[in-house]
Amino acid sequence: MIKPKKRIAVAILNYNGINYLKKFLPSVVKYSDKKISELYVIDNNSNDESVNFIRKNYPSVNIIQNKKNYGYAKGYNIGLSQIDLKYLVLLNNDVEVSENWLKPMYLGLEEDKDIGSCQPKILSFEKKNHFEYAGASGGYLDFLYYPFCRGRIFNHVEKDEGQYNSSKEIFWSSGACFMIRNKLFKELGGFDESFFAHMEEIDLCWRIKGLNFSNYCFPDSKVYHLGGGTLKYENPKKTYLNFRNNLIMILKNESRFKLLFKLPVRFLFDLFASLFLLISKKSITHFISVLKAYIYILIRIPYFLFNNRNLIKRKSFEDEIIIPIKYYLLGKKRYSDL
């Protein structure tokens, strides 16, 4: 009997995450269909025995060792360049997967050649009947490019009651767990390595749409994400990277005409957001993180405006939504209320 050809590479990026590997790798090994998938750990030069742990306990898992900690974007780019299977699944090391989790995404991409990437329904590991912040049931961008999800707007995370169980086109697939066509990932040059970490998957998905592919969520596939495994949500560096990288993404992908009137408005909203962080977190570090992000961008605006521009048209329903107004002024905290 001819064995079916393996077509999916499940790739986990790891840096000093031995405790997460001990906790979450068993479910990935157990529930990933070995007939069609291979498991890889791309290690960013850990010094915590992560590699030895995998070799000793999970010899079937392939290990790709990077020379140093390159961060999320470059770490994945280097590691995935060595994999030639048809589909890539990028999975955080703090994600527990469920039985049959690969099949809905795999079949979705097999049946619709116009889908470039997709994600599962991402639930909270610690509160399994709630969505998880980083992706929920699919991501979008509003008029001012603030990310939000089916199941999560800003810090308000909804309880999963099956309200977003339909497979649906989305704007971006979550970096916590998503599947992409390997050929497409390579054609796009992978992640933009200037991001280091955070927002690079949204930038990638924006570029996917520029090649007339779509991004989807298939909620029949479920995973459970701990969240904040690399950088805790309250970490000021995370705040800095989120603001900085979001602005880089906008400058790369939006037309100069739209930037002319959208960026000043966005600046005002971010100013209020930074003041809110200063008051709510009772710490000046998050406030300074936002200011540092803007200083970084202002110094480099000429470069971003005249180099490396994708200029991809973005037309979808969320273009007409300004999430801060909906959320803070109108009290719309659920995706279904928008």
pLDDT digits (tens, 9 = 90+) for 62-117: 999 999 999 999 999 999 999 999 999 999 999 999 999 999 999 999 999 999 99
Q: Please indicate, yes or no, if residue 198 is contained in any of the structural domains.
A: no
pTM here?
0.92
Q: Please indicate, yes or no, if residue 271 is contained in any of the structural domains.
A: yes
- Among 61, 51, 227, CA closest to 130: 227
Distance between CA atoms of 166 and 177, rounded to whole angstroms? 18
Q: Are 132 and 157 in contact (CB under 8 A)?
A: yes
Token pair 């990935």: residue:
28
Token pair 């200083």: residue:
295
Q: Please indicate, yes or no, if residue 181 is contained in any of the structural domains.
A: no
The total of other beta-carbon atoms located within 10 Å of residue 319's CB is 11
The total of other beta-carbon atoms located within 10 Å of residue 123's CB is 25
Q: Please indicate, yes or no, if residue 257 is contained in any of the structural domains.
A: yes
Q: Please indicate, yes or no, if residue 309 is contained in any of the structural domains.
A: yes
Chain segment 14-62, per-residue pLDDT in tens: 999 999 999 999 999 999 999 999 999 999 999 999 999 999 999 999 9
Q: Please indicate, yes or no, if residue 245 is contained in any of the structural domains.
A: yes
Distance between CA atoms of 137 and 237, rounded to whole angstroms? 26
Rounded (10°) CA dihedral 304, 307, 308, 311: 80
pLDDT at residue 331, as a whole number: 94
Structure tokens at 198: 């955070």
256 has pLDDT over 60: yes
Return the higher-pLDDT residue of 194 and 165. Answer: 165
Q: Which DSSP helix (H) or strand (E) runs through 206?
A: helix 200-210
Chain segment 206-240, per-residue pLDDT in tens: 999 989 999 999 999 999 999 865 556 668 888 89
Amino acid at position 222, single letter: K
Range of the domain at 305: 236-337
Q: Please indicate, yes or no, if residue 186 is contained in any of the structural domains.
A: no
Q: Please indicate, yes or no, if residue 250 is contained in any of the structural domains.
A: yes
